[in-house]
Structure 1
Amino acid sequence: MSAAPDFVVAIPARHDASRLPGKPLRLLAGEPLVLHVARRALAAGAREVWVAADDARIAEALNGAGVRVAMTARDHASGTDRLAECARIAGWDDDTVVVNLQGDEPFAPAAGIRAVAALLRESGAEMATLATPIEAVESLFDPNTVKLVQASNGDALYFSRAPLPWPRDAFLDDRSRLPDGDHWLRHIGIYGYRAGFLKRFAQMPPGRLERIESLEQLRVLEAGFRIAVARTPEPFPAGVDTPEDLVRAEARLAADHG
């Protein structure tokens, strides 16, 4: 893959996350989670880094961090809808490559952020994202781990919280381990798109599959658009969705600096 193109990073940060209220401001190593994510975006070499916030306390936590903050509405249906408002506030032209880095990814590798931007340009798809192999059967059955089914051309066929694809014959006998073969992918919640498509996405009504699975990317597939997929070039640890994830993230940081 060639060098990453010129791009911006936008980080949606909703204060009242359902599984972890106040998530952007939860402390990790004594600092707000959203600050850790912002630093990852800055390390990737983005031309601009924006945080799309819905609470003034998030903006205050980012004072002096070198990022810009867009104050967005509280009632957006998804992070991508929130970023569409951010795009209008930022004034990006339609060709601007935007990387949507989730506000709960404090360990996002810089190479992964750049890879999404490059994949968007090289694939010609409306959206781009990353995936990594699933290595534990517990992850396959975990509804918080989003599975990705990929077409032979590299595009996404489907995203699901269910264990897909289902190995029928192998699981008839034993569901305690993954059968042999590199068949299962964990979706990494990072997206690339041009600002013009981002605005178009926000104007599309939520899709039936999106509502069933609570996965916003299904809106794009159900509407007939492409999502290109690449394997992450570096390990991309799971994000922070729950109090237990926050404890694990704290332990990881302690180990990294121990």
Structure 2
Amino acid sequence: MKIIAMIPARYNASRFPGKLMKDLAGEPVIVRTYQSALQTQLFDEVYVVTDSEVIYDTIAKVGGKVLMSKKEHDCGSDRIAEAVENLAVDIVINVQGDEPFIDKISLEKLIQVFKEDKDKQIDLASLKVKMKTKEEIENPNNVKVITDQNDFAIYFSRSVIPYPRNENMDIIHYKHKGVYAFRKRALLDFYTTPMTPLESAEKIEAIRYLEVGKKIKMIETSIESIGIDTPEDLEAAKKEFN
């Protein structure tokens, strides 16, 4: 089973343009992320896939494997799907380009899902983490996920799910972490399917997989990754790196 990591890297991030090229302890953020993915030693190959010549040249300069997107894409899954279409791989792990502090433990759990899935019933695996405060749970920027009794995703939403109508029940709310492990076939099916109605309404790409009948295994993790979405995040990352 060949397992690769794909790091989608878009230059013009809406909240922090050019963040992947910002300096983090002497190297651009995207280089730090690429190096961290290599250092896990979990993958047969690690690629950066980008729409930016600047990012392409930067990764190539450090001897990294990098692919240039040929099309405009609305989400990371589409960008990765285009890149792997002609690659001989079985499992593709989406590593976020703005998260240089790789959570190796959680990635190992995602990979193990497919090693144990002998009948190839699982299309994707992803991560969920418990939310502890009312503010977290009600924040629409936190995508919530509910699962069945076997930890397969039922639905994702920016709204509060499940809604606590019965206030006497001790309900656990989970946030979806946007780290995915895909079977290649599931990724290509996503790529060739138009945006679905619920996905369009919520602006959550994971919903498209559910709407077309894919099975998503959710793995609980307690590790909150450090992402770089703002200049303040970058300063915090510099302190963490040092």
Q: TM-score, normalised by structure 2?
A: 0.88
One-letter amino acid of the counterpart of residue 24, structure 1: L
Greater mean alpha carbon deviation, residues 180-189 or residues 151-160? 180-189
Within 5 Å, give how 1:98-247 maps onto structure 2. Answer: 98-123=92-117, 124-170=121-167, 181=170, 183-232=172-221, 235-241=223-229, 243=230, 246-247=231-232
Task: Encode CA deviations 1:180-209: one digit per residue, 9 max, x unaligned.
Answer: 846111111111112222112100111111
Shift in alpha-carbon separation, 1:167–1:28, aligned structure 2, 3 A: farther
Partner of 1:175: none
Task: Encode CA deviations 1:193-242: one digit per residue, 9 max, x unaligned.
Answer: 1222211210011111111111111100011110001112x61325233x
Shift in alpha-carbon separation, 1:62–1:103, aligned structure 2, 3 A: same
Uncovered stretches (5+) of structure 2, i.e. residues with no partner: none
Question: Does the residue aligned with 1:168 lie in a helix, a strand or coil?
Answer: coil
In 1, Cα distance between equivalents of 2:40 and 2:234: 21
| Structure 1 residue 29, shift from structure 2 partner | 3.7
Partner of 2:21: 25
**Percent identity, aligned pairs only?**
32
8 A Cα contact 2:186 2:214, kept in partner: no
Question: Does the residue aligned with 1:24 lie in a helix, a strand or coil?
Answer: helix
Partner of 1:10: 6
Partner of 2:87: 92
Question: Does the residue aligned with 1:62 lie in a helix, a strand or coil?
Answer: helix
Question: Does the residue aligned with 1:98 lie in a helix, a strand or coil?
Answer: strand
One-letter amino acid of the counterpart of residue 168, structure 1: R
Partner of 2:47: 50
Uncovered stretches (5+) of structure 1, i.e. residues with no partner: 171-178
- May I ask how many residue pairs the two structures share in their alignment? 238
2:73 to 61, 76, 91: 76
One-letter amino acid of the counterpart of residue 216, structure 2: I
In 2, Cα distance between equivalents of 1:56 and 1:209: 34
8 A Cα contact 1:149 1:156, kept in partner: yes
In 1, Cα distance between equivalents of 2:68 and 2:204: 24
Task: Encode CA deviations 1:28-86: one digit per residue, 9 max, x unaligned.
Answer: 34432212221221122111000110011011222454531010035112111100111
